[in-house]
Amino acid sequence: MPPWILEVGKSNPDIYYTNRSGARNQEYLTIGVDNQPIFQERTAVELYRDFMKSFRENMADFLDAGVVTDVEVGLGPSGELRYPSYPEAQGWVFPASAREFKEAATVAGHPEWDLPDDAGEYNASPKSTKFFAAKGTYLMNSGIFFLTWYSNKLIMHGDQILDAANEAFLGCKVKIVAKATGIHWWYKDDSHAAELTAGYYNLNDRDGYRPIARMLARHDAILNFTCAEMINSEQIKMAMSGAEELVQQVIKVGFGDGTPRMHAWFIVWHCMPGIQCSMEEGIEVACEHALSRYDRRGYNQILRNSRPQGIDRSGKPQRRVFAMTYLRLSDELLKMVNFRIFRTFVRRMHADQDYCPDPWKYYKPITAMQRSKAATPMEKILEAAEPAPPYAFDPETDTSVGGPYAELIDTLLGLFD
């Protein structure tokens, strides 16, 4: 936060998210001030808009030259569209404006409803709370109303900021990107407690990600999702992680045709030029990995998620993500064994095709940004919460970078690295 924002926070600390113990989270402004003109007579949305316009003006040379092709717009903590539901060293309670929720509950005919006070603390397990336990508050009318309101506020926040981004970059040859994070712990618990707390109203009978995708569609924005490298068996059992199922659930909202191709700067792969993608919600979905990985298992999982039906040697693959971001260039990556494996991974991501020296052929040409479409009514957005039929991913990638025997060789070579 810039110092002049922190100055406002000294006299009005409610501009920050606050946990049950009263600790303020200064990583991001609460969405409760999105439309409050308390920052030198500007609202938070206006601050974000002006920042993006300033970025466009100061980076015009890079934008005009096509050096910058994607603009990932920060929509929350760590740049992700979510509430700060798992800050380190802090407890947590639902971050919201009590007054605003009370007004919404009163309009709905239930003035007696308040914000949940039975959702537990930061490290609580779902079954230890009244809210997320079996037959808990989250299944009652008051809980359903709150979770709907809570998640809708997040979608509305993202919609407003992306509309401002569209206005700021209008006419530029860039794509807007919004990032949602892979909150995979408690995914296999009926309550999906961690996702609900972050603002993703996702249950076994309710899709919490397709409504977000439907909102993004009006801005022609790309959805970037994390955890592409995660494997369930690598997670501790008590976390009830469903990383693989979660990634598959989100990625399928943007299934299309084409081969992921490598971007000019090696960290992002894009689909082939001229390919029109057929998508469940009319958007593209990109992916990235959450943790640093240099091993073959992690790379194989990324390849599996990037092309869930594998490659088609006679033409385009039936399904693929739009882009994959590799994190990140480091000394560890450049070690002999790690870099050798990475080179193989890059080759497999290209489906073993020959290198093309023209970067503009690596992905669909990006046209000048058009104005966002008319706002989508929330009722229409929430229709997307109806779960879509599951889609089967191949059990393994057909472009593997190697298995156990290759890993053994890696271990031996690593002794001399």
- Examine residue 282 and state whether it is found in any structural domain, yes or no: yes
Domain count, the chain: 1
- Examine residue 42 and state whether it is found in any structural domain, yes or no: no
**What confidence score (pLDDT) does residue 401 get?**
93
**What confidence score (pLDDT) does residue 255 get?**
67
**What confidence score (pLDDT) does residue 253 get?**
86
**Of the residues 72, 195, 284, 288, which is catalytic?**
288
Edge-first strand listing for the sheet containing 70-72: 70-72, 175-180, 222-225, 285-288, 323-325, 268-270, 261-262
41 assigned to active site: no
**What confidence score (pLDDT) does residue 88 get?**
57
- Examine residue 35 and state whether it is found in any structural domain, yes or no: no
**What confidence score (pLDDT) does residue 97 get?**
58
- Examine residue 52 and state whether it is found in any structural domain, yes or no: no
What's the distance, CA 119 to chain centroid? 24
Q: Which range of residues forms the domain containing residue 240?
A: 84-414
- Examine residue 67 and state whether it is found in any structural domain, yes or no: no
Residue 310's region, left for phi above 0, alpha for psi from -120 to 50, else beta, is left
**What confidence score (pLDDT) does residue 271 get?**
42
**What confidence score (pLDDT) does residue 278 get?**
35
**What confidence score (pLDDT) does residue 417 get?**
67
**What confidence score (pLDDT) does residue 1 get?**
86
- Examine residue 77 and state whether it is found in any structural domain, yes or no: no
**Of the residues 80, 195, 281, 284, which is catalytic?**
80
**What confidence score (pLDDT) does residue 272 get?**
36
- Examine residue 359 and state whether it is found in any structural domain, yes or no: yes
Helix (H) or strand (E) holding 179: strand 175-180
Low-confidence stretches of the chain (pLDDT < 50) are: 89, 91-96, 256-278
The Cα-based distances of 369 to 167, 172, 213, 322 in angstroms read: 9, 6, 19, 18
What CA–CA distance (Å, rounded) separates 386 from 209? 10
Among the listed residues 222, 173, 213, 179, the one whose alpha carbon sits nearest the alpha carbon of residue 322: 222
CATH of the domain at 376: 3.20.20.80
Token pair belonging to 337: 């064994």
- Examine residue 29 and state whether it is found in any structural domain, yes or no: no
80 assigned to active site: yes
Among the listed residues 39, 78, 265, the one whose alpha carbon sits nearest the alpha carbon of residue 179: 78
